[in-house]
Amino acid sequence: MTEGFRDCWFFFACKRHPNTLFHFQDRFGLTVPPAHFEVMDSACEKILFSTSDLAELTPWLDANPESYFNLYLQDSQSQSFMFCHRPGNHHVLGIPYELLNEDELLFVLKRFGAIYGWGWHDDTPPDTIDEMRLSANAPHSILRRYRKGRLVPAN
């Protein structure tokens, strides 16, 4: 399923839940590299929250459902994963496309209650649920998509 899709992600959107990050880390053995985290309001270029402690960042993001934030994680092989907070009370989880076979992909999508899923080139996911829906329904996509509880094959 994944040959030729290096530098691509499979993103999936799900409703925000306080334990999603923990379960995502546990499922893939992920760690967050030490960093200083800043949540910005891009409209006025103002820092809304700043910390070096993930244990402080996560509750702040959960308490601010209209926040945007991309958190980068790594597995034991130094593969990059993404955990993104999006407005509208959604998370977007990003997994390297080449790591997933169809059975694993369906398991992860169901385990995290995915609403939509889509393949995407090396970039951050869309900001709104409407943009995510468009990505998941794109008829010209060369990558697999997930909608209505099933995978839609690449064209």
pLDDT higher than 50, residue 109 = yes
Q: Which pLDDT does position 81 carry in this prediction?
A: 94
Q: Which class for 32: exposed (0-12), middle (13-18), buried (19 or more C-beta within 10 A)? A: middle
Residue indicated by tokens 């959107």: 13
Predicted confidence (pLDDT) at residue 143 exceeds the cutoff of 80:
no
Note whether 86 and 92 are within 8 A (CB). Answer: yes
Among the listed residues 5, 11, 6, the one whose alpha carbon sits nearest the alpha carbon of residue 81: 11
- What pLDDT digit, counting tens, does each position of 4-51 carry? 556 788 889 999 888 899 999 999 999 999 999 999 987 888 999 999
Q: What does the pLDDT read at residue 126? A: 84
CB 119 within 8 A of CB 143: yes
Tens digit of each residue's pLDDT (9 = 90 or more) over 113-130 = 888 888 877 678 888 888
pTM: 0.84
Q: How far is CA 52 from the centre of its chain?
A: 21
